[in-house]
């Protein structure tokens, strides 16, 4: 990432953490931790800036899919389609090694995904050993029992983010009957423990108006949600192209997020977000990279191409890989793309690299 874009991304992250401090006024048990978290984010940014001066570009964010296993079979799931079944998953010692190096390099946020990450409690217990890193955990929520809620209560750097499609009809239609009612029940238990939790919302051409409406946001805030991820739908599943946002809808995503940020004491994040301010795609290490369940380092979750495996390479070596470097060099060509992800739209070009 060029210096000005790295600083812009770091600035946006700090803005989110400062907003989190406002939210913590209603969660006095969590406030001291987030004061420290704000300090650690700033220190990590300085570490990344120092390494950048040495020619090593470290993204503030890692996305790690820690398993391909899942207890649901959601329609159009990119993970089931893109991850090769049967590929050996990372082992706990290797996961700890990756996080140790990530912390040393200045990575400050590690988003844990799957499959269903809650099936790997051993990995979450390891994540809890790194309180200086924030871990949003994208989960369907069905495994959030009393033991898990107690665990999250003790480790505020682990943030459960429950995946939904909107209300009960939209969620159960894609994820299965009863998924939404399970989410509804778990909210109360999370709130009792003052756990900061969020939701991941897949934005499609059909549900966009609902998800960005004040009615829906207020309903989720009443349930205790304070962190909203809006993820643009990517048509990994053949025949689902009609769900992709139109150009006019896509142009409204970031302005809608900005409006919500100004209107509510909550955190609102769009993915891939406003790439124009960064002069192109943030994948491949400009802002983040993806590590798949088998340890392969990829530009992003929707670009399953790699020339590096963390079973054989360090994270520092992976960040300097030829493949990722070529993607970064062409970031200016990846500003726009139909389908919610510029890299997915240009997957034939990626494969040619």
Which domains can be identified in the chain, with CATH numbers? 3-70+77-302+323-346 (3.80.30.30)
Find, among 109, 191, 111, the residue nearest to 144 by Cα: 191
- pLDDT at position 174 is 80
64 or 17, which is more confident? 64
Better-scored residue on pLDDT, 291 or 336: 291
Average confidence (pLDDT) over 82-104: 88
83 has pLDDT over 80: no
Judged against a pLDDT cut of 60, whether residue 335 lies above it is answered with no
Q: From CA 114, how far away is CA 136, in angstroms rounded? A: 12
Q: What is the pLDDT of residue 1?
A: 45
CA-only gyration radius of the chain, Å: 19
Q: How far apart (Å, rounded) are the C-alpha atoms in residues 264 and 247?
A: 27
Work out the pLDDT band at 78, boundaries 50, 70, 90.
Answer: low
For the ranges 119-123, 242-246, 271-275, the lowest mean pLDDT is seen at: 271-275
Q: Where are the beta strands (DSSP E) in the chain?
A: 61-65, 109-113, 135-139, 158-164, 198-203, 227-232, 267-271, 288-291, 297-298
| Euclidean distance between the first and the last CA atom of the chain, given in angstroms as a whole number | 20
Can you give the pLDDT at residue 12?
83
> Residue 70 corresponds to which tokens in the numbers above?
């899942």
**Residue 102: predicted pLDDT:** 97
- Position with higher pLDDT, 233 vs 237: 233
pLDDT of residue 220: 96
Mean residue pLDDT of the chain comes to: 87
Q: What is the mean predicted confidence (pLDDT) over 313-333? A: 87
Q: What are the pLDDT digits (tens) for 170-179?
A: 887 888 888 8
What is the 8-class DSSP label of residue 88? P
The yes-or-no verdict on residue 247 having pLDDT over 50 is yes
Distance CA 206, CA 106 (A): 39
Helix and strand totals (H; E) in the chain: 15, 9
At 328, list the tokens: 């970064």
Q: 111: closest CA among 172, 164, 62? A: 62
The answer to whether 44 touches 107, Cβ cutoff 8 Å, is yes
Q: Which two tokens stand for residue 32?
A: 């001291």
Pick from 210, 256, 204, 272: which is nearest to 233 by CA?
Answer: 204
* pLDDT higher than threshold 80 for residue 74: no
User: Above 60 in pLDDT, residue 252?
Assistant: yes
Cut 0.85: pTM above it: yes
Q: Range with the lowest mean pLDDT among 58-72, 118-132, 135-149, 308-322?
A: 58-72
Q: Which of 148-162, 176-190, 285-299 has the lowest mean pLDDT?
A: 176-190
Convert the pLDDT of each residue in 135-152 to its tens digit. Answer: 999 999 999 999 999 999
With 70 as the cut, is the pLDDT of residue 113 above it? yes
Please check the confidence at residue 188 and state whether its pLDDT lies above 50. Answer: yes
Give the residue among 117, 266, 274, 130 at the shortest CA–CA distance from 198: 266
In tens, the pLDDT along 30-58 reads 888 888 998 999 999 999 999 988 888 89
* pLDDT for position 265: 92
Q: What's the rounded mean pLDDT across residues 300-308?
A: 88
Token pair recorded at residue 69: 């296993």
Pick from 169-173, 198-202, 337-341 the range whose average pLDDT is largest. 198-202
């Amino acid at each position: 990432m060029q210096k000005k874009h790295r600083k812009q991304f770091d600035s946006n992250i700090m803005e989110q953490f400062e907003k989190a401090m406002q939210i913590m006024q209603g969660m006095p048990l969590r406030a001291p931790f987030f004061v420290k978290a704000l300090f650690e984010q700033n220190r990590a940014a300085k570490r990344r800036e120092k390494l950048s001066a040495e020619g090593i570009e470290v993204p503030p964010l890692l996305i790690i899919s820690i398993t391909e296993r899942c207890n649901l079979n959601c329609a159009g799931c990119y993970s089931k389609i893109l991850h090769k079944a049967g590929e050996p998953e990372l082992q706990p010692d290797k996961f700890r090694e990756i996080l140790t190096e990530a912390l040393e390099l200045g990575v400050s946020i590690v988003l844990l995904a799957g499959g269903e990450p809650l099936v790997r409690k051993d990995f979450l217990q390891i994540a809890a050993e790194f309180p200086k890193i924030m871990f949003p955990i994208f989960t369907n929520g069905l495994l959030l029992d009393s033991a898990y809620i107690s665990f999250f209560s003790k480790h505020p750097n682990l943030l459960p983010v429950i995946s939904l499609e909107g209300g009960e009809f939209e969620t159960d239609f894609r994820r299965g009957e009863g998924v939404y009612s399970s989410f509804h029940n778990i909210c109360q238990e999370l709130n009792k423990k003052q756990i900061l939790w969020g939701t991941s919302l897949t934005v499609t051409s059909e549900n966009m108006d609902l998800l960005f409406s004040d009615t829906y946001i207020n309903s989720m805030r009443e349930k205790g949600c304070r962190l909203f991820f809006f993820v643009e739908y990517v048509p990994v599943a053949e025949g689902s192209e009609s769900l992709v946002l139109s150009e006019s809808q896509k142009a409204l995503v970031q302005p809608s997020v900005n409006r919500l940020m100004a209107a509510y004491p909550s955190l609102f994040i769009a993915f891939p977000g406003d790439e124009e301010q960064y002069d192109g795609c943030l994948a491949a290490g400009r802002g983040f990279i993806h590590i798949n369940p088998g340890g392969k380092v990829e530009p992003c979750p929707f670009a399953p191409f790699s020339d590096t495996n963390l079973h054989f390479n360090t994270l520092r070596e992976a960040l300097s890989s030829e493949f990722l470097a070529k993607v970064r060099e062409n970031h200016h060509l990846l500003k726009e793309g139909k389908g919610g992800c510029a890299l997915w739209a240009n997957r034939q070009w990626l494969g040619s690299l």
